[in-house]
Structure formats: C-alpha cells, structure tokens
C-alpha cells in the first residue's frame, strides 16, 4: 500500500505509519491449523476442512481487522480455519499480491491500489480525484461496475469475496491549506520509486518529494514535506496530526477496496460451502463500510480534541479544488486509470445525477 498523491492511499495502506511503532502482529481465528481430513472446528457439512491465510496491512484493532475476525469465526463454523496476518507483517499491498501469486497466502483485503496490481480497472474507484461528490455516488458506481471488475479479476485467477469503502481522503498539512493553488507551492509527499506518478505531479505543476512511507513523519518534522493526503482514521492511528495539525475538509477521493481469494484455493472448497462462506463475506463488506465511515468521522473528532484544526471551505474555495481535480483527469485517463473504465465511471455518474 502507499500514500501516493494521485494514486491515493488505500483501506489499510497508511496504517503502515501506525504499524511501524508496534511489533508485527499475527492474528488467527484458531491457534491450530486445519489440515485435509481433519478440522478443529465443528463439522457442519457446509465445507470440506480447509485452512486459508488472509493478509491485510491494517493493524490489529482497527474496524477492518475486527470485521475480518468476525468473518473468520463464521467461516470456522463451516470448517474453514482462516488465519489473518496483519499490520507490520506485510510491507505493503504489492508485497501481499506477490505473496498470493507464489502461494504463500491465499486471500487478502486490498484497496483499489493493491487490486490495481492485479486488475488496473479497479483503480477507477479510487484514483479519480473529486469525481465523486457523495458516498452514495461511490456506492452506485461500485455496484454497477462490480460485474465487469469481478469478471476481470476472475480471469486473472482471483475470486472477489466482498467490496467496501471507508470514507474520504483529506489533506493534512503543516500550515493551513485553503486554496488548491497553494498545494503547488507546498512540498508534497510522493511514493518513492513511482516515476510515472511523480512525472504526472510535476507536469501538473506540483512539487512531489519521493519518500518511503516510514519516512513521512520525519519528513514532516524536518520540513522535507509539508502536505500528505490521508484518510482521517489512518492519520489518527499514525499520529500524523502531531506533525501536520491542519486538515483541509475537502473530499479528495474515497478509499475503496475488496477482499479476494486465489481461485484454486476457493475452488478446492465444496460448492455448498462456498455459498455459505460468500454470504458471510458479503455481510462483512457491509459491516466494514458502515464501521469504516463512522470511524473516519470519529477520528476527526478525536484529533480535534488533541489540537487538529479542521478548515471548512467557502463555496469559492471548494470550486477551486474541484477545478484543480478536474484538470488532473486527462492526465490520469489512459495512464493511471484505463480509458474504458474511466469513461464508464463518468457515464454512470451522469446517469445517477440525472435521476436526482
């Protein structure tokens, strides 16, 4: 996962900031591993005994992790022992995807960033700044694009279990940031090694500073960077607000993701079992969305209590941010986001808005 400016942070990405301060955590739904022909969980007949490993960059205790634990308990009743690897055990979503590819883990909770490593079309749900005006629009577009995106993921060997979002990305800065034009005068965090994204930023007049995620807090403290785009509850967990105590209340982009499992592992389970497991997974996606959105709001309140200043924008300032975001869209279409999927998002939003 990452905290790129245009390739925005994902569901668990930025928790690397908070995770770096804690020891690696391995959580499991059962201390004993299930093996073929034997299970440590009740035999309900809904699936052959199996053991699956799932990874997420989200640390223990977040709403995402708690929801995955609850799903694991339901799966256990069907004879599937789900082991969840969390936090600092995973260096990022690209690493998780790589591990799935070589069979070290079978499933993962990924943001659109990580899913984009598998199927680039998923990036449209998260990497088109300010294309969405409300979370209802996010839900509408995601639901209508799911069949296409899920088919593409399946073609590449991954079965989607559920989809979810957890609210908006905001800008956190060392000094107040009210006008979009001011961003171009500030030193902006950029993902180290992502040459294409850095070139896009520079071509748009921004000042990207390539850093590793683990260097963000130090970069803010020393003045090497001045602005970071991040979801509120990741900022709270990583204590980002101590170094960037000003939040611009602009909904830059949603954080959208999904849980996926490798097709061979999924198809090794019985059809009846898969149906019950999928039902539990879909409910988990609903729970993560509800809890994640609320946790985002609660995190802003918690940070305000310890000194964060939230800057609400005037209509004129908000229009300036919208204009700046729309100027980026042509640079992203066909490069960061596949052109056909980009155009479908635009079409669906026009369809949704015409009904309002």
What would the pLDDT profile of 55-95 be if each residue is shown by its tens digit? 998 767 888 889 999 999 999 998 999 999 986 566 678 88
Q: Is residue 121 part of a domain?
A: yes
Domain count, the chain: 1
Cα separation, 116 vs 111, whole angstroms:
8
Model pLDDT for residues 117-169, shown as the tens digit of each residue: 899 999 999 989 999 999 999 999 999 999 999 999 999 999 999 999 999 99
pTM for the full model? 0.84
Is pLDDT above 60 for 353?
Answer: yes
Q: Is residue 22 part of a domain?
A: yes
Cα separation, 208 vs 160, whole angstroms:
34
Q: H/E element holding 341? A: helix 339-354
Predicted confidence at residue 92, as pLDDT, reads: 77
Give the count of beta carbons closer than 10 Å to the beta carbon of residue 150: 18
Q: Is residue 3 part of a domain?
A: no
SS3 210: strand
Cα separation, 29 vs 17, whole angstroms:
25
Predicted confidence at residue 4, as pLDDT, reads: 47
Beta strands in 12-59 (DSSP E): 25-28, 50-55
Predicted confidence at residue 194, as pLDDT, reads: 65
Helices 339-354 + 135-155 axis angle, to 10: 140
DSSP state of 337: B
Cα separation, 258 vs 145, whole angstroms:
13
Q: Is residue 9 part of a domain?
A: no
Q: Is residue 25 part of a domain?
A: yes
Q: Is residue 8 part of a domain?
A: no
Cα separation, 116 vs 108, whole angstroms:
13
Cα separation, 19 vs 239, whole angstroms:
11
Residues β-bridged to residue 253: 169
DSSP letters spanning 265-303: HHHTS-HHHHHHHHHHHHHHHHHHHHHHHHHHHHHHHHH
Q: What's the CATH code of the domain at 93?
A: 3.40.190.170
Strands 207-211 and 158-173 turn out to be: unpaired
Q: Is residue 30 part of a domain?
A: yes
Overall average pLDDT of the 196-211 stretch: 86
Q: How many helical (H) and strand (E) elements, i.e. helices and strands, does the chain have? A: 13, 10
DSSP state of 21: T
Q: In terms of residue numbers, what domain contains 104? A: 15-354
């Amino acid at each position: 996962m990452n905290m790129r400016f245009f390739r925005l942070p994902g569901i668990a990405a930025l928790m690397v900031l908070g995770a770096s301060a804690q020891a690696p955590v391995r959580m499991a739904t059962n201390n004993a591993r299930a093996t073929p022909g034997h299970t440590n969980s009740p035999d309900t007949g809904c699936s052959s005994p199996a053991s699956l490993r799932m990874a997420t960059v989200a640390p223990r205790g977040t709403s995402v992790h708690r929801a995955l634990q609850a799903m694991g308990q339901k799966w256990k009743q069907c004879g599937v022992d789900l082991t969840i690897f969390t936090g600092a055990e995973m260096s990022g979503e690209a690493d998780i995807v790589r591990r799935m590819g070589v069979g070290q883990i079978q499933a993962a909770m990924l943001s659109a960033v990580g899913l984009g490593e598998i199927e680039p079309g998923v990036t449209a749900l998260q990497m088109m700044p300010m294309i969405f005006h409300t979370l209802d629009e996010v839900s509408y577009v995601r639901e209508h694009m799911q069949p296409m995106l899920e088919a593409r993921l399946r073609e590449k060997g991954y079965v989607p279990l559920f989809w979810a979002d957890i609210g908006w990305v905001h800008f956190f800065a060392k000094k107040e940031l009210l006008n979009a034009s001011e961003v171009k005068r500030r030193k902006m965090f950029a993902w180290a090694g992502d040459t294409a994204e850095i070139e896009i930023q520079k071509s748009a007049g921004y000042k990207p500073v390539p850093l590793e995620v683990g260097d963000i807090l130090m970069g803010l403290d020393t003045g090497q960077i001045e602005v970071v785009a991040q979801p509120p509850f990741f900022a709270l967990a990583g204590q980002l607000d101590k170094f960037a105590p000003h939040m611009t209340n602009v909904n830059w982009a949603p954080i959208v993701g999904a849980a996926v499992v490798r097709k061979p592992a999924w198809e090794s389970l019985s059809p009846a079992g898969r149906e019950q497991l999928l039902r539990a997974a879909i409910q988990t996606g609903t729970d993560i969305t509800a809890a994640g959105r609320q946790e985002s709001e609660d995190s802003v309140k918690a940070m305000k209590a310890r000194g964060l200043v939230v800057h609400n924008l005037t209509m004129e300032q908000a229009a300036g941010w919208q204009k700046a975001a729309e100027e980026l869209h042509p640079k992203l279409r066909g490069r960061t986001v596949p052109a056909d999927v980009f155009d479908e998002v635009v079409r669906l939003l026009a369809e949704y808005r015409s009904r309002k």
